[in-house]
Structure 1
Amino acid sequence: MRALRLARCWTIEELAEASGVSVRAIGDMERGRSLRPQRGTVTALVQGLDLDEAAHSELLAALRAGRPATKPSVSPASPYALPRGVRDFVGRHAELATLRTLVQQSVTESRTGNRAVRSPAPVVVLFGPPGSGKTTLAIRLAEESAPSFPDGAFLIDMRGLDAQPLSADQAVLRLLDAWGVADAELGRQSAEERLARYHATAAALRAVVVLDNVGSEAQVRPLLPREGGLLLVVSSRRTLAGLEGVHRTELGALTREDSASLLRAVVGADRVDAEPAAVLAVTELCGHLPLALRVAANWAATRTNWSLQRLADRLTDEERRLDALSAGDLRVNTAFALSYSRLAPGTARMFRLLSLVPGADFSIPSAAVLADTSLPAAEDLLEELLDAGLLMASPGDRYRFHDLLRLYAGARHRAEDGDEASVAAKARLRAWLLDTAVLAGRWYEPEHGAPSPAPGRLVALGDREQAMRWMKTESDNWLAAFREAVETGEHAKVIEVADATIWFSDHWVSWGHWIEVYKRAAEAAAALGDPVREATHRNNLAGAYWIGERRHDKAVGEAGRALAIAEKCGDVTQQAWAHHHLGGLHALVDDLPPAADHYQRAKELFAQADEVNGYLAASNMTIRVAEKAGRPRQAVAAYDEVMDLLGASEYRDRIPPNVRDYSTMYAAFYVSFAHLNQGHWQDAVDALRPIRGQLEAHGWHERAGMVHLHMAHALVHLGELAEAETEYRAVLTMADLVPPAMLDEARAALDALAAGTPSPPTHFA
């Protein structure tokens, strides 16, 4: 970047003026502080520098070599960041040596650049009994290998032992989210398209992905990388024998020497070396399993006045009393029981209650709610459990159980707390999770926005970003609470949560559970005899069926049910939304006459209900349907109506900023087809020029590429060849984000320009 600027004898300020990119952004790029500039920024710089094809290609190659847009940008607080490994890792020398060789071989091959001789990306399967240290070894390998994998390390808990394990598609969504793929883009793709995007992105990465707690081959088979520099590490209690072409490493018990080394690392060399017989007894009583040894060692490390023989005696006593417990291996339980029995009563109660958390991890506020205590007190208790080895740290100031410890905590809870305490604690947590989901979700509603100040609120919801972060981080927990509310017949709360997430769902379309949310809400409304709310959520369900699963038949069915219910109870707004959904569903299959009729009826009903935002949505779609039906004048008239509404003073405060932006962008995008197909080239350019770069920000990359391509074609027709060339090149900068056919069209157009024989199309679909 600096070389290109200096070749023109420009200062940074001059380049900023020519490109429209800020001085600070250019400076950060040149100093290496900005490793992942946005594609729109790069396109603007290309245009500002007026680069020829060779220089443009060189800049694009430098961008890809450094950190392309498909590479990850994950914050330390991301739930998918690799958690910190243990500081006192010992043993597993043979296993690590084999794995290091595999990693080094992969790194060497990925750096040769010779794709013809490269083997598939490596996949490591670590398997063994519970408590054998599979996750710890996976994290250790990832941490050691970090210098060779500059694009980061990520961990996804596949929850293979749960009643509803994470599916391969859910894992794909989480990884693509961690790698910076826009949610709007993921939401428009089918599961097959998302998987293809996963493999394309993974092939460009040099990163480590740990898939932890895998229960079956089906969970991971689609995720096995085909090529590239991605290192995939899988941990499972099973051998996963059905997976082919993977490197399996079995983990069993530690050797006597390594077991003693683990005690030495945690307890201290002097104490361990002074009692070799007691050390042997402790390691035998723990079965040489790393988890049991670590829990016992953490207990001893906090009692410096106790001998290790006293620890061995205690372990023996505990073993005799464990006839009623079934949470894993008996000797593992022995170590758990010893540490648990020495906890203070409040800490032990917290340990037991945490077994009620439904998700893979939890926050301090969740723990405070469960224990009915303050945030500082809850944090102190969690840190005590962490110090005792009974909890593990998770990214983002969160905590998690080893699955055996969760089972043990649950057993102690059932034995000591009773059903009444369990029901009360679960009800507290469920109410708090759902109430907070309502507050966070309503941040995105025009009528609500920021929640009112509340000094006692346990989480920060001061802006949309905080609300989004909470909704995503706690999604497993609040969804489980939602399901509990369904099971316990809390119909009003089910509807309240669904109502509060209607606008929010547009910002997280790829989540994958909106069908369930709106289906349960519609059923809850029916149970309460509330037809308006049932029609509302049948309409939402219609959209979710199409967006989430591309189920056209299901979507049409639910929209039809919503319309019938709304007509019967006389609710005009939900009738309008039902017609709006039906219009879109007919348009999707090019059944244009009924699509136009439904949109017209939607507009009439929205006008009757004085619902301007719905009217804008239907009017926008009228533009596209009219143009596709060969009625360009009607399309232009609908566009003019949208722009008049957006500019009307009486609607200034009634149209939210996001609706205003969306309406402006799509009205211009849709009407451009009418101008293009009539040969009104200047009108097309005038419509498209203001929305360049805006669609990319929402993740609508294919349509953003179409804006550049169509504008370039129109400019050629106008004889503006230099600007047309710039727009064609802008398409090429989106190489990883748009269909290959679009790239081919842009390249062919550039070749024709270079040859002096441009022949842009005159029909646009």
Structure 2
Amino acid sequence: MGTGVGITAPFGRLLRALRQSRRLTIEELAEASGISGRAIGAMERGRSRRPHRGTITALAQGLDLDEAAHADLLAAARAARPGALPAEPVRTTPHTLPRGVRDFVGRQAELTELRALAREAAEGAVVAPPVAVVSGPPGSGKTSLAVRLAEEPSTPCPDGAFLVDMRGLDERPLPAEQAVAGLLGSWGAGDAELARLTAEERLARYHDVAAGLCAVLVLDNAGSEAQVRPLLPRAGRLLVVVTSRRKLAGLEGVRRVTLGALRPRESAALLRAVVGAGRVDSEPRAADVVTDLCGHLPLALRVAANWAATRTNWSLDRLAGRLADEDRRLDALSAGDLKVNSAFALSCSRLAPEAARMFRLLSLLPAGDFSAAPAAVLADLPLPDTEDLLEELLEAGLLMTSRQSRYRLHDLLRLYAAARHRSEDGQERSLAARSRLRHWLLDTAVLAGRWYEPDYGMPPADPGRLVALEDREQAARWIRAEGDTWLAAYREAAAHGEHARVVEVAEAMHWFSDHWVSWGHWVEVYERAATAGAALGDAALEATHRNYLAWAYWACARRHDDAVEAATRALRLARAAGDVLQRAWAHAYLGWLWDADEDLSLAADHYLRAAELFTAADDVNGYLQVSCGMIRVLRGAGRAQAAVETCGDIMDALADPRHRDRIPPNVREFTVLTALYAVSFVHLDEERWEEAVEALRAVRGQFDARGWHKQAGKVHLHLAHALARLGEREEAAAEYRAVLAMEGDAPADVRDEAFAGLAALAAGRPAPLTRFSQ
């Protein structure tokens, strides 16, 4: 029953009033709740920080509070929390090493073996860098061991340590090509630059960069040999540590480290580190029973130890009895012959009902890390309450932290939570939660993607929005961080036949997709969208998304034949629908594709037809895009003057007052960059050095800012060549040195030309020129 004590009272005063109303001493409340008497006294006197939600729940259970009084106590604790400063943004890459466990124990023989490999790699004395494969059952601490090695100050990795989750247990494990692109991005390669490389070229670039690093790379949770084999370095000083539940016996020339259960003394050391040496050493027999019931498995031991650490007045003998009882009642989960469900069940048994429900619901999220917002949607709770519940799960050892302020469920815990969800929540509640999450994720994806659409931009204000979408950068961060999550919702929408929603999301992502070419899933997104357009019986809509699919096939996957087929099919559909604009875009994509294939005649035909159709549709942005393509085609056909005139037409269109508000700033900026870069090659071919310098100076630095290193290097190089021929020796030398300062970012042939240019200047002559290539 309620107490009538208002929530405006300070937390300590409220707690004391509740205890006294039950006629309990501090010692009696400690016994009933499992919270130490010293901690309760500190809370009542206001000498402790805001207690954790799990502690509040234990106190509420000890006080036998009803739901209303329990809520009052929680609210008072929340109000007592000191004002938190806004968190500084953490600058990390997607492959930043996660924080290791502070109380890591044991595995000394394995660490010694890995340390020796790290030194061997750093010395670079071997033919190929060493590779270690760490295998073992789930929960045996494979990732913790790899992270521990990388975090040790003595491990030689001056260029950093990186971790890639290979998602080997997922239905769709991470492809090696996607891992390559992601790592190159973490190592400084620009996304747009990666888009211009074939898969083979990206892999070659990966090995070139890896050969220059002295670092540790952890390929975590690998599913197969084929998944990791392309990522193993061929030269250099990069130590690769692969973790997997499988032995990966097909990998040759690797060092194998197999993890099993901890030794008894290591298990006891882990209990001491978490629970406290005094408590463990005072009950050695009970400690042995606890470690035995946990199968000496690090994950299970940590869950049980974390639980015991928060109940300081419980004996280990009492804990062992509870573990044994839970093991008899529920044996739904195990890793081989290592029983871990007892520890999980024990932790869950002490959770507040809302925390237990949150734990079960988290199993509905796709594997990988997640933020608090989707968890709040799943549970249909306010964000602050959700954060409290997630922190309670962290304290109970049922949740892990990931990069930045994100969370992660261990694979075993995900399976366990899913089993509990099926048995306790039922299908109807599960479907409702899934539907709620799917709609929120896709709604948010549409809002975030439309930041990049010229006709949308900033979404309308919404105080209830769970994520910040105040600018393009925030939108991009959300799309990238929650990529796995919203993609899973997108797949679910397609499976449910939500065709209109599928095409809406794909359309909203169209302008953004060009900023994240290396993601690896745009082909799937637009294949599903094209299929949805067909299912809706809308030929124009299907044509739109087959045009986007043509882009994805070529820009993201280098599948030229598939791209041509998609654009050709889009052209047929657009003709049947009478859609002039999509006919224009189909011709534009075909021109781009045949230009890439160096069939200049066919490219020119499509570009010209696209230009006519864009003019008929009064679409100046499409017209500008194909005109930039025409500069390249005309140059290749030897029609230099026509190419220069086309560039002039583009600049006139950009300057036309009628188009001032019709051309978005990003399209305007990109058009100028593309056109001037393309026409600079015409001037260089014709030895019009002054015109070349004017064009190249106008775009100098812009490719660098976008991460397009190949183009950036050529701008500096060609500007240096032209300046040298105009007698501007000092500025020419500075441009050559700018190329060399790019080091590995500039292609080797560009660097070689810059070296030769500097040598020629030193000898008093300009460098010899070869054909200028884009």
Asked whether the two chains share a fold, i.e. TM above 0.5, the reply is yes
CA distance in 2, matches of 1:490, 1:714: 57
State the AA in 2 paired with 1:96: L
* Partner residue of 2:239 out of 231, 242, 250: 231
Amino acid across the alignment from 1:698? R
Instruction: Report the Cα distance in structure 1 between the residues aligned to 2:767 and 2:355, rounded to whole angstroms.
Output: 76
Structure 1's unaligned 5+ residue stretches are: 1-73, 111-116
8 Å contact kept, 1:314–1:338: yes
Q: Deviations over 1:300-326 (max 9, x none)?
A: 112222211111111111111225556
Structure 2: which amino acid aligns with 1:452? P
Q: CA deviation at 1:429?
A: 1.0
Counterpart of 2:380? 372
Match of 1:689 in 2: 697
Contact 1:595 1:625 in 2 (8 A): yes
The answer as to whether partners of 2:331 and 2:341 remain within 8 angstroms in 1 is: no
Q: Distance in 2 between matches of 1:356 and 1:373?
A: 16
- C-alpha separation between the residues in 2 aligned to 1:264 and 1:726? 62
The alignment partner of 2:339 has SS state of: helix
Task: Provide the rounded CA distance (Å) in 1 between the counterparts of 2:161 and 2:745.
Answer: 23
Q: What's the % identity of the aligned pairs?
A: 65
Structure 2 counterpart of 1:389, which letter?
G
Q: Deviations over 1:493-512 (max 9, x none)?
A: 10010010010011111111
Q: Is residue 84 of structure 1 aligned with residue 99 of structure 2?
A: yes
Equivalent residue letter for 1:660: R
Once superposed, what is the RMSD of the aligned Cα atoms? 1.9
**Residues 580 and 265 from structure 1, CA distance in 2 versus in 1: closer, same or farther, beyond 3 angstroms?**
same
Query: Any conservation in 2 of the 1:79–1:396 contact (CA below 8 Å)?
Result: no
CA displacement at 1:453 relative to structure 2: 0.8
Q: Please give the per-residue CA displacement for 1:63-115, whole angstroms capped at 9, x wherever unaligned.
A: xxxxxxxxxxx9555442212111211112222222223323433x15xxxxx
| Aligned residue among 326, 330, 343 for 1:318 | 326
Letter of the structure 2 residue corresponding to residue 602 of structure 1? A
1:141 aligns with 149
* 1:761/1:137 CA distance change after superposition, 3 Å: closer
- The two structures have a TM-score, normalised by structure 2, of 0.86
The number of residues matched between the two structures is 685
Task: Name which of 602, 620, 635 aligns with 2:643.
Answer: 635
The reply to whether residue 512 of structure 1 matches residue 520 of structure 2 is yes
Q: Give 2:661's aligned amino acid.
A: D
Q: Does 1:194 align with 2:202?
A: yes
Task: Find 2:445's aligned residue among 415, 428, 437.
Answer: 437
Q: Give the 3 Å change call, closer, same or farther, for CA 122–508 of structure 1 in structure 2.
A: same
- Counterpart of 1:654, as a letter, is R
The verdict on how the C-alpha distance between 1:435 and 1:327 changes in structure 2, with shifts beyond 3 A counting, is farther
User: What is the match of residue 522 of structure 1?
Assistant: 530
Sort the Cα spacing of 1:656 and 1:316 in 2 relative to 1 into closer, same or farther, 3 A. same
Given that 2:94 and 2:182 are in contact with CA atoms closer than 8 Å, whether structure 1 keeps it comes out as no
Q: Residues 196-215 of structure 1 correspond to what in structure 2 (within 5 A)? A: 196-215=204-223
Partner of 1:8: none
SS of the aligned residue for 1:362 comes to coil
Query: Could you tell me how far 1:154 is from its partner in structure 2?
Result: 2.0
The answer for the alignment partner of 1:394 in structure 2 is: 402
Q: 1:344 aligns with which of 352, 372, 394?
A: 352
1:239-638 map, 5 Å: 239-325=247-333, 329=337, 331-638=339-646
Q: Is the 8 A contact 2:115 2:155 kept in 1?
A: no
- Whole-angstrom distance in 1 between the partners of 2:107 and 2:549: 51
Distance in 1 between the 2:167 and 2:525 partners?
A: 22
Structure 2 CA distance, aligned partners of 1:647 and 1:76?
Answer: 39
C-alpha distance in structure 2 between counterparts of 1:252 and 1:245, whole Å? 22
Shift of 1:146: 6.8
User: Does the CA-based 8 Å contact 2:149-2:155 persist in structure 1?
Assistant: no
Q: How much has 1:720 moved relative to structure 2? A: 3.2
Inter-CA distance 344–186: structure 2 relative to 1 (3 Å threshold): same
> Deviation digits for residues 213-256 of structure 1, max 9, x if unmatched?
11211121111122333222211112222222222211111111
Structure 1 stretch 185-194 or stretch 322-331: which is displaced more? 322-331
Alpha-carbon distance in 2 for matches of 1:92, 1:704: 48
* Partner residue, 1:661: 669
Structure 1 residues 743 and 177: CA distance shift in structure 2, 3 A: closer
Whole-Å separation in 1 of the counterparts to 2:770 and 2:138: 65
- Gaps of at least 5 residues in structure 2 are 1-88
Partner of 1:98: 113
Q: Secondary structure at the match of 2:164?
A: strand
Residue of structure 1 equivalent to 2:45: none
- Greater CA drift, 368-377 or 322-331: 322-331
Paired with 1:401 and 1:480, the residues of 2 have a C-alpha distance of: 17
Shift of residue 406, structure 1, vs aligned partner? 0.6
Aligned AA (1:436) = T
Q: Does 1:705 align with 2:713?
A: yes
- What amino acid maps onto 1:423 in structure 2? L
Pick aligned residue for 1:645 from 626, 650, 653:
653
- CA shift digits 1:641-675 (9 cap, x unpaired): 10111111221222112111111111111112222
Q: 1:763 to 1:88 in 2, by over 3 A?
A: closer
Query: What's the TM-score once normalised by structure 1's chain length?
Result: 0.86
Take 1:471 and 1:489, find their aligned partners in 2: how far apart are those partners?
23
Q: Which amino acid aligns with 2:349?
A: S
Is the contact between residue 333 and residue 340 of structure 2 (CA under 8 Å) also seen in structure 1?
no
In structure 1, the residue matched to 2:44 is: none
Shift in CA distance, 670/254, structure 1 to aligned 2, threshold 3 Å: same
* Cα pair 1:539 1:578 within 8 Å, conserved: yes
Q: Which amino acid aligns with 2:372?
A: I
Paired amino acid for 2:458: A
Rounded to whole Å, the distance in 1 between the matches of 2:104 and 2:737 is 52
Question: What residue number does 2:80 align with?
Answer: none
For residue 188 of structure 1, report the CA deviation from its aligned partner. Answer: 1.4
Q: Take 1:386 and 1:392, find their aligned partners in 2: how far apart are those partners?
A: 6
Q: State the SS of the aligned residue for 1:441.
A: helix
Confirm whether residue 738 of structure 1 aligns to residue 746 of structure 2: yes
Contact kept in structure 1, 2:331 and 2:342, CA below 8 Å = no
Range moving further from structure 2, 450-459 or 184-193: 184-193
Listed one character per residue, the Cα deviations across residues 309-365 of structure 1 (whole Å, up to 9, x for unaligned) are 111111111111225556765521111112112221111111111001013111100
Q: Which residue of 1 aligns with 2:732?
A: 724
Q: Distance in 2 between matches of 1:463 and 1:472?
A: 15
Q: How far apart, CA to CA, are the structure 2 residues paired with 1:198 and 1:566?
A: 40
- The alpha-carbon deviation at position 484 of structure 1 amounts to 0.6
The more displaced of 726-735 and 556-565 is 726-735
Q: 1:78 to 1:369 in 2, by over 3 A?
A: farther
* 8 A contact 1:327–1:333 mirrored in 2: no
Stretch of structure 1 that moved more, 186-195 or 727-736:
727-736
Aligned in 2, Cα 1:713/1:760: closer, same or farther, shift over 3 Å? farther
* CA-CA distance at 1:578 after TM superposition: 0.8
Tell me whether 245-254 or 721-730 shows the greater mean CA deviation: 721-730
Alpha-carbon shift at residue 749 of structure 1 (Å): 3.3
- Compute the displacement of 1:124 (Å): 2.0
* Aligned residue number for residue 58 of structure 1: none
C-alpha spacing 1:97/1:710, structure 2 compared with 1 (3 Å): closer
The residue aligned with 1:24 is none
Query: Contact 1:354 / 1:367 at 8 angstroms: preserved in 2?
Result: yes
Among 108, 129, 138, the alignment partner of 1:121 is 129
Q: Are 1:559 and 1:581, in contact at CA under 8 Å, matched by a contact in 2?
A: yes
CA distance in structure 2 between the aligned counterparts of 1:721 and 1:301, rounded to whole angstroms: 72
